[in-house]
Amino acid sequence: MAASPASAAVLNASDHGFEIQHSVNLVVPQAEAYNSFGRINQWWNSEHTYSGDASRLTLQLRAGSCFCEPLDGGGGIEHMRVTFVQPGERILLTGSLGPLLFEATTGVMDVKFERIAGGTRVTMNYRVSGFAKGGAGAMAPLVDQVLGDQMKRYRVYAAGAPKPDTLRQP
């Protein structure tokens, strides 16, 4: 159904930032891989939400929209903002995920969809810079682990396998 992740790595890390890259090969057409990414509420791990419920997540694949999560009581979180869209090929989001939201950091997530023999390669780069207590680089392994889990879940979902929430958590 889908190949193993092609790569996963912390490319750079320092006190003032880091860059993480994950890449997966999918045995689905490029347009399908792209559209599946937008259905983030179907594959994102609920353990990495503020509400505990990934079904609340929204991500519209158009510039100016947000990767958002409403909370009980009328609150909510803008995890990231969609700043660039090239349909079927690339999505650029800006923002600080998870605990980075409460630090003086900014992040850029660049997701590229490339046609390859037999399907699509999806490569996600997340670059974060700024000030974080204890150093941004110290957070890189944890962020890498979380994003690695998300990309594995995305790969399973995009390949048409059972919804990731039915899979056993590590």
Where along the chain do its domains lie?
2-162
- The identity of residue 48, as a single letter, is H
**Is the pTM above the cut of 0.85?**
yes
Q: How far apart (Å, rounded) are the C-alpha atoms in residues 94 and 10? A: 19
pLDDT of residue 2: 44
Rg of the chain over all Cα atoms, to the nearest angstrom: 15
DSSP result, 50-89: SSS-GGG-EE-SSTT-EEEEE-GGG-EEEEEEEEEEETTT
pLDDT of residue 8: 81
Tracing tokens 């399907």 back to the chain, one arrives at 119
Show the low-confidence residues of the chain (pLDDT under 70): 1-6, 161-170
Task: Give the fold, CATH level 3, of 2-162.
Answer: Alpha-D-Glucose-1,6-Bisphosphate; Chain A, domain 4 (3.30.530)
